[in-house]
Chains A and B, each alone.
Chain A
Amino acid sequence: METSRRNFLKAGGACLLGLTIWPAVKGFAGNSTEYITSSKALTGEKWGLVIDMKKCWPKYQEGCRECFLACQRAHNIPDVTNKEEEIKWIWTEPYENAFPEQEHEYIAASIKGKPFIVLCNHCENPPCVRVCPTKATFKRRDGIVMMDYHRCIGCRYCMAACPYGARSFNFSDPRPFIKEVNPEFPTREKGVVEKCNFCAERIDTGLPPACVEACPAGALVFGDLDDPNSEVRKILASRYTIQRKPELGTHPCIYYLV
């Protein structure tokens, strides 16, 4: 067959067009992308956490940091020494800093300056998901706000959007700062954002979040906020609880007993 320049260009153009529409073909005609979950997986519609700080404090004062350590071990969280570049999934903040709008001059001494456990609120209406330009931050059907570390472009828009300071950016390669690598969970690269994932990987295999399991005081109660018979709902129905910055319309799924 003769190949004229015109024919060659035509074929080339057709190939190029094919390449461009290939993702669309995959999207419409590809296999089902439904992921297969383990039969042991915990099922819930809206996972939430109730934190009872009164149960936590006696142990905390004795130096208990089991929840932080369990989280750190499970998720390969680097121990970055530079305070300004720290990677934090779960930590404590004094009452006035965690609940700035609920603080006042004459606050009870039993609360003033006391540490409160803070983490991602897994908001029902998450601003971080709204702003992410690549869907690297997304919401699972069970309400967990998750991150795809392989898709994140590191634009840090989610960090600007999160009103809870729950997101951390890997300013440098985190791997040298990981004390003991857990091969079950991915380590991250420099240049991506990360945060608490509510132990989605454990929930999918039938286990509660690592922090909940690790707490020796039973201060962290995990459960389905959509299930009226769950333990979290029973606590919420019977006791007065507060959320962080509820006025922002994010509907946090982390509740605090004070």
Chain B
Amino acid sequence: MLVKALTGSKKYWGWTIFLLVLIATGFACYLWQLQKGLTITGMSRDVSWGLYISQFTFLVGVAASAVMVVLPYYLHNVKAFGRITILGEFLAIAALIMCLLFVIVDVGKPMRILNMIFYPTPNSMFFWDMIALNGYLLLNIIAGWHALEAEYKAVPPPAWTKILVYISIPWAVSIHTVTAFLYAGLPGRHYWLTAIMAARFLASAFASGPALLIILSYIIKRVSKFDPGREAIQKLAAIVTYATIISVFFVGLEFFTAFYSQVPAHGLDTLKYLFAGLDGHGKLVPWMWTFAILAVLALVLLINPRTRTRDTYLQAACVAVFVSMWIEKGIGLVIGGFIPNPFERVTEYVPTLPETLIALGVWATGFLILTFLYKIAIAVKEETV
């Protein structure tokens, strides 16, 4: 089946080469980072995690695309999702590989990363996140690949892969929970120290993952002969709608606790920094208001059935959901947690150019993997149609 990724139109190769150029640029910057150290990034002793870890955090959410098609299909017999479970699983694979790459580019000593296995430390949430993410990656690779192979050969998938699919459903919940626990258990980081962190992660994941899947489904429909199906897209749209509502509601809960209690230790200062600026610093304010506006816009388009069922509006809504969740989780949450610092001072963070190019390179790697996987899946589906 792999060979199917090696034949394609001019556009396909153009896109591949574009991604390869981004990867090469990012890789060159990464070599420079290896040489010079993380000093080439915008991170500091106060904001010690930046773009890399925030992208990692956001992409763990995108991996939820898989469970949101697998769960309805296998547990609720939603037939419409049968055609696209593979798309959800392959998107999860690409997202998880990006997650792992973002961790590798973030650590100061990447050549020592296996110390996490040589000296396993179960009291560290990183240890559990490593198990959760790699396990989910493996489950999706095995289950997805076997399902596609069975489709290719026009036979039912082996029975044991179904067990893996069932395991993958609670496992998906674990990846968001454990990633949220990375943040939610730290004393002194007020913005992160909230019991609804894992719930927020699940909600935003179930919004952003399926939203991207909808956008990708429309692209696939345009560039190939395979149609993911209107019913599947509309069902995903309903999931995105609920998840976005819950996500925005959870952000509102944080606001209420902080601003009504007026207790600084409930993230009050960080929320002020993010949405209004603190002590004259407010580089993230325009971003956070973009998040707020896009989230409201997405909700208006999604809740109204007349716009949700129209392709163009739904596409716009999904882009709005994806971008707004990216800002909220991929920028505001991680960077905001470090501001103010333990001495109640504001040190701002802006990623540098090489740092941004490395991050783009990782995204391009993920999209290249996604392109190849989707190319194979679609080629198989086009043959069986």
Residues of A whose CB lies within 8 Å of any CB of B are 23, 82, 84-86, 88, 93, 96-98, 100, 127, 130-136, 151-157, 159-165, 167-173, 189-193, 245, 248-250
Contact = CB atoms under 8 A, between A and B. Distances in A.
Interface of B: 36-39, 41, 43-46, 48-49, 103, 106-110, 112-113, 115-116, 118-119, 121, 123-127, 130, 182, 185-189, 337-338, 341-345, 347
A135 B117 CA distance: 11
A171 B338 contact: no
Contacts of B337: 160
Contacts of B36: 172, 190
Given A134-B119, A153-B112, A162 B124 contact: no
A190 B112 contact: no
B37 A190 contact: yes
A189 B34 CA distance: 12
Q: Say whether chain B's binding surface is mostly helix, strand, loop, or mixed.
A: loop
Contact of B39 (A165, A167, A172): A172
Given A131-B125, A136-B115, A157-B124, A165 B343 contact: yes
Nearest to A244: B342
A250 B342 CA distance: 14
B349 to A, nearest CB: 9
Given A97-B345, A193-B108, 7 more contacts: A85-B39, A155-B103, A155-B108, A157-B126, A165-B45, A191-B109, A248-B188
B343 A170 contact: no
25 contacts: A85-B44, A85-B45, A86-B45, A88-B45, A93-B343, A97-B343, A127-B188, A134-B112, A151-B115, A153-B107, A153-B116, A154-B108, A154-B109, A157-B124, A157-B182, A159-B45, A160-B337, A163-B186, A164-B342, A165-B342, A167-B45, A170-B108, A171-B37, A190-B108, A191-B108
Contact of B108 (A133, A134, A192): A192
A113 to B, nearest CB: 13
Count chain B CB atoms within 10 A of each CB in A96, A191, A192 and give the residue with the most.
A191
A143 to B, nearest CB: 18
B45 A134 contact: no
A134 B116 contact: yes
**Majority secondary structure, A binding face:** loop
A72 to B, nearest CB: 17
Contacts of B39: 82, 85, 171-172, 190
Contacts of B182: 157
A191 B265 CA distance: 31
Contacts of A127: 186-188
B48 A156 contact: yes
Contact of A98 (B43, B113, B189, B343): B343
A134 B118 CA distance: 8
Contact of A171 (B38, B103, B123): B38
A88 B46 CA distance: 12
B186 A160 contact: yes
B37 A163 contact: no
B188 A245 contact: yes
A168 B37 contact: no
Contacts of B188: 127, 162-164, 245, 248
Contact of A248 (B106, B113, B187): B187
